[in-house]
Amino acid sequence: MDLQETVNALAARVAKLEAVRPRRRAYNQQQAARELGMSVNKFRAEQKAGRIKGVLSGRVWMFTDEELQRYAAGQCEGGDV
């Protein structure tokens, strides 16, 4: 097996692994608000009310795709969204 075949085989394996495991994205407050189609102030109010959960990483709040999808689907525990 020559070098190019090895590289092609590895590239195929990596592509297969990436397809199986979806990439998890993280958003800051501004990015998350834009993703949900709301103002940053509205997003912060929803977060403060406990409807959107995030993780504080240093001085920056981070939010995952899963959390934003949960909020958008209206499945928060605290009531209506």
Report the pLDDT averaged over residues 51-77: 87
pLDDT above 50: residue 2: yes
Residue 78 to residue 69: CA distance in whole angstroms: 16
Tell me the whole-structure pTM to 2 decimals. Answer: 0.63
* pLDDT value for 47: 95
Return mean pLDDT, the chain: 86
* pLDDT value for 81: 45
Closest CA to 64 of 78, 81, 52: 52
- Is 24-81 a CATH 1.10.3720.10 domain? no
Report the pLDDT averaged over residues 55-79: 83
The residues that bridge with 57 in the sheet, in sequence order, are: 60
